[in-house]
Amino acid sequence: MKKTLLAAALCGAFTMSAHAQSSVTLYGLLDTSLVYTNNQLGHSNWQLSSGTTQNTVFGLKGSEDLGAGLHAVFKLEQGFLMNNGAQAFAGSAFGSQAWVGLQSDPYGTLTFGRQFDVMNDAVGPLTAGFNTWGGSIAAHPFENDNLAANSVVVNNSVKYASPVYHGVTFETMYSFSNKAGDFANNRSYGFSLAYAEGPLNLAAGYLQFNNAGNGSGAVTTGDTSANFIAERQRVWSLGGNYTFGAATVGLVWSHTQIDNVAGVFSFGTGTYLGAAGDATGTLGGSLRLDNYEVNAKYALTPALSVSGAYTFTHGAYNGSSPAWNSAMLQTDYALSKRTDFYLEGVYQNAHGAPADSVLSHAMINTLSPSSTSTQVAVTVGMRHAF
């Protein structure tokens, strides 16, 4: 009897120890809003929307202590729409993220699966489009540089993230096409470098997609992760911000080169515009875009904040020089650390593109394109994190 009790006690102790060294967390973010737009496909519109500023998601994340500073880590995350409960990534059980890997305290983290790219990890947080104080609706035109709030998720990815060395972190990734005999068709790769010390944050990165949207592979049209259907898309980005007191001010530059572009995804319509010609015009040839963003956020009180951003985008397209002016202003009130309300306005004006091109129409991210060169949207919404 004594031996049996001792064995049971030891088993219990080992079980408690194992549980203490492992953790699994259920988490999520809910974002819903009422949006007014002055022009969507030629009509003004009131709509109940989901994910106007941040992706609405739920997920599981976990870590197991393997000893000697080594941990097994994973994340499974699905996006969905608050207004109707539908999956954000149709047909995917965990379309937002699905990865597993090893984390070493002294050597960094290596992960495998469906993940956000490394440039979005590093430079994205310096933009208004990535953060709750601006969000997806404040993204640069057509989300051309993939810096907004995690809109592009890359399949078949191997990612390495270094530990922090004197404020510096480095990330790199490679995403396979998984195509026999066609290794480079629809693959992706990139790297980023970031520095954070006290009030100063700096980051830079490079990202490349080869034949994005060409069937299965790294970035597909089936799950709408491909912002552009093109032979090649290359993005360079650089940014920084500085916090002094209750204010944070940031600057971001990005350069996007898109070769043999055939179509661009419209989040508002759920389709690719321009590929075969449509109501908004055609799209083809080469496209170059430079985005210059200045942003600021100020906390009036611990609960009340205001923020704003302005982006000038200069382009080159088949001999023309299209350009966009985009501006955002938001005020946010937090009821608690997990629940807040926001009021946000976004303005976009496009000019200089050929009249028969998709580029001649203003198209605020998450909304259907305007029938003219100007679009204005105002949204009031609620967010809750758990």
Token pair in block for residue 220: 């597909």
Whether residue 18 lies inside any domain: the answer is: no
Distance of CA 213 to the CA centre of its chain: 17
Count of domains forming the chain: 1
Whether residue 203 lies inside any domain: the answer is: yes
The torsion angles phi and psi of 331, rounded to 5 degrees, stand at -125, 140
pLDDT (0 to 100) of residue 225: 85
Whether residue 110 lies inside any domain: the answer is: yes
pLDDT (0 to 100) of residue 27: 97
Whether residue 3 lies inside any domain: the answer is: no
Whether residue 184 lies inside any domain: the answer is: yes
Residue 214 predicted with pLDDT over 90: no
Structure confidence by residue, pLDDT tens digits, 91-148: 788 989 999 999 999 999 999 999 999 999 999 999 999 999 999 999 999 999 999 9
Whether residue 362 lies inside any domain: the answer is: yes
In terms of phi and psi (left: phi > 0; alpha: psi -120 to 50; beta: otherwise), the region of 323 is beta
pLDDT (0 to 100) of residue 276: 63
Q: For the ranges 78-82, 255-259, 274-278, 382-386, which has the lowest average pLDDT?
A: 274-278
Structure confidence by residue, pLDDT tens digits, 133-166: 999 999 999 999 999 987 789 999 999 999 999 9
Domain range for 242: 100-385
Structure confidence by residue, pLDDT tens digits, 289-310: 999 999 999 999 999 999 999 9
* CATH (domain of 370): 2.40.160.10
Give the global pTM.
0.91
Query: Quick check: 96 and 75 in contact, CB under 8 A?
Result: no
Whether residue 225 lies inside any domain: the answer is: yes
Whether residue 276 lies inside any domain: the answer is: yes
**H or E element: which one contains 118?**
helix 118-122
